[in-house]
Amino acid sequence: MLGLFSSLLLSSRPIRARQSRAPVGTHASLAVCVQRLESRVLLSAVTWTGGAGTSNWSDGSNWSGGAVPGPGDDVSIFNTTVRNVAGTIRSLSVSNGTLEGGALILESGVTLSSGARLKDVALSGSAYTLTSYHGILDAASLSGHVTMASVNGSVHLFRVQNGLTLNGTAALSGGGIPGSGPAYSGFVFEGNQTLAGAGTIVFTNNYNNAVVAASGSALTIDSGITIRTNGPSTSGYVGWAHHGVSGGTDFSTTSFINFGTILADGGSILVRGNGSVNNSILGAVNGGELKFEGATTNNTTISAGPSCQVDVNGVITGGAITAADGAIISVSDGNTPYGGRLKNLTVSGGSYSLRSYRGLLDAVSISGNVSLAFANGSIHFRVQNGLTLNGTATLGGGGIPGGGPAYSGFVFEGNQTLGGTGTIVFANNFNNAVAAGAGSVLTIGSGITIRTGGASTLGYLGFVHHFISGGTDDTSTSIINQGTILADGGSILIRGNGSVNSGSLGAVNGGELKLQGALTNTSTISVGMNSKLDVNGVVEGGAMTGLDGAEIGVSAGTSYGGALKSVALEGSVYALRSFNGVLDAVTISGNATLSAINSTPFRVRNGLTLNGTATLIANSNYAGFVFEGSQALSGNGVIVFGGTSLRNVLVATENSTLTLGSMNSSPENSITVRWHAPRRPIRGGTP
């Protein structure tokens, strides 16, 4: 009985039990001594012996058992070279040996240990695995569905030499060894090579999957190849990964050239290299994240799908980046020698976000509806070689608790132009800015509008000392406005020296426009109903108009003083306020009120022309005009001393002469001074 059972186990063929009847009188239990067994094939371990003295796979004498391996066999090869491989086997294990030439169909998988090489061998199978312990694929070809998982301590990528052809799907599933660091799954291409074929590499989890080039190598990804993640919590590297490649963190000599498709599909892909080139499809979809490190030349379009993210911690030059609704494009100077820069490219899309961590926009064009909001520590963009805006950029600054302000917007480094036909909106009251660096001139093109977004919104134009070297010294920074700057319900501060306004500049809907520094105005600065204009510097030339309820204030609170020079003040019913402000050869028209509330008298130089009505309303403070030096108050206007205080003044400084109207007192040049109640004299001397 034992002999029969042993022979059944050792047989590799299906066993059929013969049907028989028990002899008459035999106990019934003896009828089941021999039972029918299920059909089975027992697997066989086959080892290369080299007994034939040749290197030919098809010579049976080279194998243990004296037969060429076949289906169901587990094949092992050690320390030798085997050529002309062929047939179907269950699995293959090679240690410090080489398989050269031919093709194998695999039922289970291949394991290559240190020193093992597959050269000019084509592997295929419906579902098989590849496991590497420093194994080499040399001009190899992979077809079918292959899984490359980090198992049983496999810690290294497959080393690839002389190119790799993939015509199936390679599913990469890296891992980690507790206490021993990462364990990579994938390929490292040693030398300049091509990943060719019509296959797909899929990063199936979020542990150390990689398709990379060794230091000093360039990897070309062919047009038929797709590399992608496989949904949330999957990730991988393309280009260079220092854990699996010698050379530490230096990838300055590693690059990739993409003619295929690289897609962060729901997961994350890090593209890393220097001198890399993208000629095809590169992007993120289904909430994925595409990350760049190093320098990439882009000859096509990098895309970010809805709710996806593209992170640039390096330099991307050329082409375009498109962003769908909800997408995020972030640029960071990071910790790499390449910084974070977009250069000579276009960013466009629907409603998307731009985030900067001291990122640089170099000759970039932006279109679509883009939000530059403070988020996760983001700060302003640096700009070089001009910026073109053909959409709407909404700025929403913020602050870092205990860490000072965090600005949202742009800092132009050097003399540049903000061009295009777009609009910048200051959307909240936290640190929004369109600024010029120290020593820089920023020109705002004729098609550009910069405005606030309603009540409780504000922004800065020109010089903002919080993030520009040079402290509070804005003497070398200026703005040339050819476009539209509008404090629309909110507040805008323009700061600079030598600035010029030839466009539209003003405040509406209760907004407040503040001017600091020196501005030459060749146009009209308008102040709408119940809006304000505050001059804390010098404005020379042009006109200022104030509608009903508007207020124009001049304050000498900076090193520039506060002065209007050769300016025509016009309007219906508006207020003029002074805080030691200067009117230098100014003309006043319309109905102006000079109240002493939060105000002092205007200082006048080089004469004052009044062609409207100026009503002075003093209280405990003085209201009116102090003429510094001998001058004339000319024009065809009226000064009214209103209120009940004796502190309305129309005076000249000591040893000066104030002339009212012309010497001939013609009707065209006559000044009338009157008051509403008794005892309202014109005061002389210094008030």
In a domain, 530, yes or no: no
Q: What is the SS3 assignment for 357-404?
A: EECEEEEEEECCEEEEECCCCCECEEEEEEEEECCEEEEECEEECCCE
In a domain, 97, yes or no: no
**With a cut of 50, which residues of the chain have pLDDT below it?**
1-34, 37-41, 178, 244-249, 401, 469-471, 663-667, 677-687
As beta bridge partners, residue 269 has 236, 290
Q: Do 595 and 514 lie in a common domain?
A: no
Token pair of 43 as six digits: 């697997």
CA–CA distance, 499 with 497 (Å, rounded to integer): 5
CA–CA distance, 100 with 368 (Å, rounded to integer): 56
Chain Cα centroid distance, residue 65: 64
Dihedral pair phi/psi, residue 5, rounded to 5°: -65, -40
- Quote the pLDDT of residue 180: 53
- Quote the pLDDT of residue 206: 80
Q: Do 608 and 468 lie in a common domain?
A: no
Interval 396-436: pLDDT, tens? 876 554 555 567 899 999 999 999 999 999 998 878 899 99
Token pair of 187 as six digits: 């390929």
As beta bridge partners, residue 150 has none
Q: Is residue 322 within 8 Å of residue 345, measured between CB atoms?
A: no
Token pair of 509 as six digits: 């809907």
Q: Do 404 and 494 lie in a common domain?
A: yes
The helix (run of H) or strand (run of E) holding residue 5 is: helix 2-10
- Quote the pLDDT of residue 384: 96
Domain finish residue from 366, 390, 413: 366
Among 623, 546, 627, 553, residue whose Cα is nearest residue 589: 546
In a domain, 126, yes or no: no
Q: Residues 153, 154, 160, CA angle at the centre, nearest 5°?
A: 170
- Quote the pLDDT of residue 373: 72
Question: Would you call 7 helix, strand, or coil by DSSP?
Answer: helix
Counting the structural domains of the chain, the total is 4
Q: Do 189 and 275 lie in a common domain?
A: yes
The boundaries of the domain holding residue 389 are 371-522
- Quote the pLDDT of residue 357: 82
Interval 341-352: pLDDT, tens? 999 999 999 999
CA–CA distance, 530 with 535 (Å, rounded to integer): 17
Strands 491-501 and 209-213: unpaired
Q: Count Cβ atoms below 10 Å from residue 7 Cβ, excluding itself.
A: 10
In a domain, 138, yes or no: no
Domain finish residue from 366, 395, 427: 366
Q: Do 362 and 226 lie in a common domain?
A: yes
Chain Cα centroid distance, residue 682: 65
Q: Do 375 and 360 lie in a common domain?
A: no
Among 485, 483, 476, residue whose Cα is nearest residue 415: 476
- Quote the pLDDT of residue 683: 45
CA–CA distance, 639 with 232 (Å, rounded to integer): 75
Among 518, 519, 520, 571, residue whose Cα is nearest residue 544: 571
Q: Count Cβ atoms below 10 Å from residue 234 Cβ, excluding itself.
A: 24
As beta bridge partners, residue 389 has 366, 420
Question: Would you call 523 helix, strand, or coil by DSSP?
Answer: coil
Q: Do 414 and 497 lie in a common domain?
A: yes
Q: Is residue 596 within 8 Å of residue 619, measured between CB atoms?
A: yes
Number of H helices, E strands in the chain: 1, 67
Token pair of 70 as six digits: 């076949």
Q: Is residue 420 within 8 Å of residue 365, measured between CB atoms?
A: yes
Q: Do 505 and 573 lie in a common domain?
A: no
Question: Would you call 193 helix, strand, or coil by DSSP?
Answer: strand
Provide the residue type at 101 as one letter. G
In a domain, 460, yes or no: yes
Domain finish residue from 366, 395, 428: 366
CA–CA distance, 570 with 296 (Å, rounded to integer): 56
Q: Do 518 and 418 lie in a common domain?
A: yes
The helix (run of H) or strand (run of E) holding residue 653 is: none
Q: Do 353 and 379 lie in a common domain?
A: no
Predicted structure pTM score: 0.86
Contact residues for 207 (Cβ-Cβ < 8 A; gap 6+): 150, 173, 174, 175, 176, 182, 183, 185, 235
Q: Do 511 and 562 lie in a common domain?
A: no
Q: In the 8-state DSSP scheme, what is residue 162?
A: E
Q: Using alpha carbons only, how large is the chain's radius of gyration in Å?
A: 41
Token pair of 422 as six digits: 């777009």
- Quote the pLDDT of residue 184: 76
Q: Is residue 226 within 8 Å of residue 251, measured between CB atoms?
A: no
In a domain, 82, yes or no: no
Q: Do 489 and 469 lie in a common domain?
A: yes
Interval 599-650: pLDDT, tens? 899 999 999 999 999 999 988 889 999 999 999 999 999 999 988 788 899 9
In a domain, 275, yes or no: yes
Q: Which residue has the tokens 């095809």?
A: 280
In a domain, 603, yes or no: yes
Contact residues for 35 (Cβ-Cβ < 8 A; gap 6+): 17
Q: Count Cβ atoms below 10 Å from residue 555 Cβ, excluding itself.
A: 21
